[in-house]
Structure 1
Amino acid sequence: MTEPTVAQTRIAYDAVADRYAELFRDMLDSLPMERALLAAFAELVRDNSSGAVADIGCGPGQVTAHLHALGLTTFGIDLSPEMVSLARRANPHLPFDEGSMTNLDLADGSLGGILAFFSTIHTPPRQLSAVIGEFQRVLAPGGHLLFGFLAGDAPQPEATDHKVAIAYQWPPDGIAELLRQNGFTEIARIQREPHEGERFRHGYLLARRS
């Protein structure tokens, strides 16, 4: 399989934006574990920082809005103009902008938290460390990152078919090591088996900028 480019990923998500928003509008209603993780993340950010939280790869903005409802100052960034348009329409009270996680238009140390909820799954493995380094750059010291990924059993990341674009499954230890190399301290990790209609195990790592 050929690695997806940023432009290809943008085009692919623009093409499915309306359907994606429809499918995932109420996704958190049936995900109690994820709601608990987001609540824990929100509490840590509130207790340790006054900075805003960026939902990077926010899609149509439903999780950005959920974090806002938990008391955080939030905004969303997405590669897809169509996704940003849908997010703004659904959540006119929140800011959403186009942007790439490889080059965030944010000042060093300006954020209290980052949510990357499966937004890096299309990032080629050789580029993921640089993306995590960019997360580290814009987080304030002590800021928190909640990182969701497709969890695999192989010792190395593996490319897999995905309905939108090629995605990568990662061993949890591999993600944890990239976080450590880029100045993060792991706080917790969780995996869950696929729910009905899902194809992959979901992994979550909660980390703090050292």
Structure 2
Amino acid sequence: MSEPVYVTKTRTAYDTVADSYAEMLKDALDASPWDRAMLGTFAELVGASGPVADLGCGPGRLTGFLASLGLDVFGVDLSPGMVDAARRAHPQLRFEVGSLGALALDDGCLAGALAWYSLIHTPPELLPSTVSELARVLAPGGRLLTAFQVGDEHGCISQGYGHEISLDAYRLQPDLVADMCSAAGLKVEARLVREPQSPLEKTPQAYLLARKPS
């Protein structure tokens, strides 16, 4: 069975930009206190309760940050190029190739899941099943933290990180994502919407934290 076109396009685009992306964003977290605050809250809530997966980890910059906060964390990404970059940057951590829509993880095996701007390439009509997949791998009491651009637009990206690519990206409304989490059996604990903080950000950015009931 062939994979969906959007999956192939996403993998190809991120394989193309992997090394440039890793270099350009390697210090981006230093300039974003909001990102650090949300990731820190997530890390404190999850603590030592079990393994955490950075789903759509890219070159592992947030995987490494969560590890520095004491989490037992590993990364999963659709792009082999991104996984190679992550392994080079963080040889002490585990990284695997995988798809958010069909994770090679057991039911209830994670204390935490991070989906940091990794839901934005899935067509909105397919997002509920992807969120359900994230909920499936969470243990009771486990938490999901996701971040995304706010809006209703569908963008077709043709240039990125110095390369020509073809990539679809979808902005999302926090209420819509919250409803998907609720439908998947998760309880939304917090949401935050902030204004753009750099010229690279064209819209408000959202963070949403949800918990799987015990």
Scaled by the length of structure 1, the TM-score of the pair is 0.93
Cα shift at 1:50: 2.0
Q: 1:18-61 deviations in whole A, cap 9, x for unaligned? A: 11101110111000011011111001101xx6210000000000
2:121/2:170 contact within 8 Å kept:
yes
- Indicate which of 190, 193, 196 corresponds to 2:195: 193
Residue identity in the other structure for 1:166 = D
Aligned to 1:28: 29
Matches within 5 A, 1:1-210: 5-46=6-47, 50-152=49-151, 157-162=152-157, 163=160, 165-196=167-198, 197-210=200-213
**Residue segments in structure 2 that go unaligned for 5+ positions in a row:** none
Q: Secondary structure at the match of 2:92?
A: coil
Deviation (angstroms), 1:192: 1.3
Is 1:113–1:143's contact at 8 Å kept on the other side of the alignment? yes
Shift of 1:106: 0.5
Regions of 4+ moved over 6 Å: none
Confirm or deny: 8 A CA contact 2:6 2:168 kept in the other structure.
no
| Contact 2:55–2:76 (Cα < 8 Å) also in 1 | yes
CA distance in 2, matches of 1:148, 1:80: 19
On the 8 A contact 1:4/1:166 being kept in 2, the answer is: no
DSSP-derived class of the 1:142 partner: strand
> Distance in 2 between the 1:190 and 1:111 partners?
24
Residue 4 of structure 1: CA displacement? 5.5
Displacement, 1:166? 1.4
Asked whether the equivalents of residues 108 and 138 of structure 2 are also in contact (C-alpha less than 8 Å), the reply is yes
Aligned AA (1:158):
E
TM-score with structure 2 setting the length: 0.91
Overall identity of the aligned pairs, in %: 50
In structure 2, distance between residues paired with 1:181 and 1:130: 10
The CA RMSD over aligned residues, in Å, is 1.3
Residues 74-130 of structure 1 show CA distances to partners (whole Å, capped at 9, x for unaligned) of: 000000000000000000000001000111001100000000000111000011111
Three-state SS of the structure 2 residue aligned to 1:166 is strand
Q: Aligned residues, how many?
A: 202
Write the deviation string for residues 136-177 of structure 1: whole angstroms up to 9, x where unpaired: 11000110000111111xxxx431243451111111111110
SS, match of residue 92 in structure 1: coil
Q: Which runs of 5+ in 1 are unaligned?
A: none
